[in-house]
């Protein structure tokens, strides 16, 4: 009965006539698990509905569907496996659980003829998973990229539009409830990585593990980075990226400069958006609130409707499709991107020639260049945007730049994505 759970109860009670029309029977809430029976709730419910004993739900034969919005991983996984083994269908909004143990849970669900739906685990109220599984089922997805974490998008929006520092924007996000008191999972990219694990597994029909995702967060992004990006026509976003070439895929999460004409560049504040490329459909974009009580609860109850429809048709446990392809990840030589680099160098003759020589050696050319003096310590700042470079060559260039005596520091480096 937290934020999302209260929303689920509210929607089921308020929209009972709509649900009855959709599925042909009432939806009855039998029990709600809470930690503290005496706690004040966001909405009022009958006291007899509340329990602090999970077994009252897991072993009640009158309960057909269990909705899990409690969070956590190990204990929650045990609860859901028990529910599935008892023949109960499951709806979960738990991205951490599905990213880490989704394959195991789906296997248990299939073995016991149960549905396990998890639309709300990615991008809150946006029906992205259902769109990948159903709406784009006939297409071959080649790329997915998106803003899938509202906390970081809020922070970066404030830094970009209002000139806030990272620390100021984070504090405001915490005060408004967009960020946790410990924001590490959000700002260091782990939350987005879990969601991209789920998206890539479904979109590419390939079992992707969390450790397959390269992850970088936004805690090191500075006002200077964002201002240089503005000068060059870019907007900073934390982007989840999944790409397939032939049989090989890559998945990553990183702060990224998007060209200002890219549709994702205009996604503001706590909103999420996912851009999907299919060989047949071309480009599609899904946009909406990525979190919050009622948006997320809407996805949860939509999954509930799907399960009850299957129940009335007698087809539960038949919708899950195992990954079609064996996992095949790109090596670093197959991962290509443009890059933004800020380099602090000694203000000496020949330094820029030495730097360009390193890039030329690895066959990487420049798209944009800025060179600015820094008043202190006789230092210059060089800002570069490269053309496409493999990750292998990019890593070699970074290492050789640090080996160059005149280079004091590679101040920052980010992927760059332009609208094709």
Burial grade of 233 (CB within 10 A; 0-12, 13-18, 19 or more): middle
Q: Assign 5 to helix, strand or coil.
A: helix
Close Cβ partners of 305 (under 8 Å, ≥ 6 residues apart):
19, 22, 23
**With the CA atoms of 86, 91, 95 and 100 taken in that order, what torsion angle do they form, in degrees rounded to the nearest 10?**
20
The question of whether 30 is a catalytic residue gets the answer no
Taking the C-alpha atoms of residue 12 and residue 19, their distance in angstroms, rounded to an integer, is 8
Taking the C-alpha atoms of residue 199 and residue 386, their distance in angstroms, rounded to an integer, is 29
31, 77, 95, 195: which is the annotated catalytic residue?
A: 195
Dihedral sign, CA of 275, 278, 283, 286? negative
Tell me, what DSSP letter sits at residue 329?
B
Taking the C-alpha atoms of residue 135 and residue 351, their distance in angstroms, rounded to an integer, is 54
Taking the C-alpha atoms of residue 334 and residue 328, their distance in angstroms, rounded to an integer, is 12
From its phi and psi, is residue 119 left (phi > 0), alpha (psi between -120 and 50) or beta? alpha
Q: Assign 352 to helix, strand or coil.
A: helix
From its phi and psi, is residue 77 left (phi > 0), alpha (psi between -120 and 50) or beta? alpha
Taking the C-alpha atoms of residue 203 and residue 316, their distance in angstroms, rounded to an integer, is 22
| Residues tagged active-site | 195
């Amino acid at each position: 009965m937290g934020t999302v759970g209260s929303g689920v109860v509210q929607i089921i009670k308020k929209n009972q006539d709509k649900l009855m029309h959709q599925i042909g029977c009432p939806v009855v809430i039998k029990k709600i698990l809470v930690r503290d029976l005496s706690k004040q709730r966001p909405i009022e419910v009958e006291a007899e509905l509340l329990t602090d004993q999970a077994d009252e739900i897991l072993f009640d034969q009158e309960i057909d569907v269990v909705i899990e919005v409690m969070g956590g991983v190990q204990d929650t996984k045990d609860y859901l496996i028990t529910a599935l083994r008892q023949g109960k269908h499951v709806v979960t909004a738990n991205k951490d659980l599905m990213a880490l143990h989704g394959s195991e849970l789906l296997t248990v669900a299939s073995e016991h003829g149960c549905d396990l739906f998890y639309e709300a685990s990615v991008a809150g109220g946006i029906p992205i998973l259902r769109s990948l599984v159903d709406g784009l089922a006939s297409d071959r997805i080649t790329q997915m990229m998106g803003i899938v974490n509202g906390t970081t998008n809020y922070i970066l929006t404030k830094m970009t539009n209002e000139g806030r520092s990272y620390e100021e924007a984070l504090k405001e996000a915490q005060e408004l409830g967009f960020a946790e008191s410990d924001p590490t999972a959000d700002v260091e990219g782990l939350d987005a990585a879990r969601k991209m694990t789920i998206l890539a597994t479904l979109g590419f029909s390939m079992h992707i593990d969390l450790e397959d995702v390269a992850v970088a967060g936004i805690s090191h992004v500075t006002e200077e980075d964002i201002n240089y990006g503005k000068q060059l026509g870019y907007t900073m976003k934390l982007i989840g990226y999944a790409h397939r070439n032939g049989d090989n895929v890559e998945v990553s999460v990183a702060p990224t400069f998007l060209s200002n004409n890219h549709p994702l560049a205009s996604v503001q504040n706590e909103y999420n958006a996912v851009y999907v490329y299919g060989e047949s459909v071309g480009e599609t974009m899904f946009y909406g609130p990525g979190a919050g009580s009622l948006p997320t609860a809407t996805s949860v109850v939509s999954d509930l409707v799907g399960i009850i429809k299957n129940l009335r048709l007698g087809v539960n446990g038949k919708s899950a499709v195992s990954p079609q392809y064996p996992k095949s990840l790109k090596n670093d030589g197959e991962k290509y991107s443009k890059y933004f680099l800020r380099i602090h160098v000694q203000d000496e003759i020949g330094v820029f020639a030495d730097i360009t020589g390193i890039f030329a050696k690895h066959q990487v050319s420049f798209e944009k260049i800025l060179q600015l003096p820094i008043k202190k310590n006789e230092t210059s700042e060089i800002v570069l945007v490269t053309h496409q470079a493999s990750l292998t060559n990019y890593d070699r260039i970074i290492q050789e730049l640090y080996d160059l005596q005149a280079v004091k520091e590679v101040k920052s480096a980010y992927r760059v994505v332009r609208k094709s």
